[in-house]
Amino acid sequence: MAGVAAIRRAVLSDAAPARLGLGWWIAALAVTIGTNILDFLTAPRPGEELTAAFIPAALVRVVLVFWIGYLLVRRMMRATPAQGDRWTLPRYVALTLVLAIGYGMTQKIADLSLGQENLANRWLLMLAVSAAWTIILIRTTAWSAALAAGRRFRVLPSLWRSLSGRHFALSVVFAQLILPLIAIHLALALLSVTLILPPRALIGMAVVDGVVSAGQMVLTAALQQTALILADRP
């Protein structure tokens, strides 16, 4: 199962509504579209300062996205309540938060160092950083699934080592299935905070981006589960 084609088939199979369950796709769409609308409508427009509603909206988005991502991985793994303890979700959130902060700081440093005024160049820079960050740390996908399944932090180093021979294949599948969705998401997010658009247009963009983000979220959860299965195999 270590080949690119086999991993891709496994990810697509786990993400399919028939296997995952249509209700889970609807839940992911509800979270991504709903939080996108909040973000797009409260984010400051060019030349504006942060609004009072933006920070609460951003916090709601973070909580809901982390929560649904956690539930999606557990659903794909068919995890039972017995698989985990009261610290299972906090451990998963801690890892996800550390990775998100690291990614955000890397994006900020790249923007400050190589910042581009041109919109297309800014998008390319953001996409390049996203791709590089994820590919370098692609083996942490197994970490996310392991923590969601109730394992402890101490197993993470061994999972990283177990995937040493599958790093390339996982990276290729990420580039094929998830990176194109990230590219669309980044473009829409950049446009939403750069252009001065009426609320109706922002809501429309939020819905489109929500659909894209839901696909990204489900496929990422499927890749995480597949990576853990590979890491557990000798």
pLDDT score for 2: 64
Alpha carbon distances (Å) from 4 to 19, 194, 227? 21, 38, 12
Which is it for the CA torsion 78, 11, 13, 31, positive or negative? Answer: positive
| Cα–Cα distance list, 234 to 59, 84, 137, 227 (Å) | 40, 24, 21, 13
Confirm if 228 and 158 have CB atoms less than 8 A apart.
no
Read off the pLDDT of residues 2-47 as tens digits, 9 standing for 90 and up.
Answer: 699 999 999 999 999 999 999 999 999 999 999 999 888 887 776 6
Q: How many residues does the chain have?
A: 234
What's the pLDDT score for residue 189?
Answer: 87
Name the band, by pLDDT with cuts 50, 70 and 90, for residue 68.
Answer: very high
129: helix, strand or coil: helix
Question: In this structure, is the dihedral angle defined by the CA atoms of residues 98, 218, 54 and 121, taken in order, positive or negative?
Answer: positive
Share of the chain above pLDDT 90, in %: 70
Task: Please give the residue range of the domain that contains residue 60.
Answer: 4-232
Report the chain's terminal Cα–Cα distance, integer Å. 12
Predicted TM-score (pTM) of the model is 0.92
Torsion angles phi and psi, residue 111, rounded to 5: -65, -40
Crossing angle, helix 4-15 and helix 199-232, to 10 degrees?
120
pLDDT at 116 over 70: no
pLDDT for 1 beyond 50: no
Does residue 173 contact residue 153 with C-beta atoms inside 8 Å?
no
What is the chain's mean pLDDT, rounded? 91
- Angle between helical axes of 54-76 and 199-232 (0-180°, round to 10): 40
Q: Number of structural domains, the chain?
A: 1
* Residues 151-159, mean pLDDT to the nearest whole number: 96
Q: Which two tokens stand for residue 35?
A: 């939080």
Note whether 192 and 35 are within 8 A (CB): no
Nearest residue to 159 (alpha-carbon basis) of 132, 140, 131, 181: 140
The two tokens of residue 107 are 């994006």
Residue showing tokens 């790093």: 167
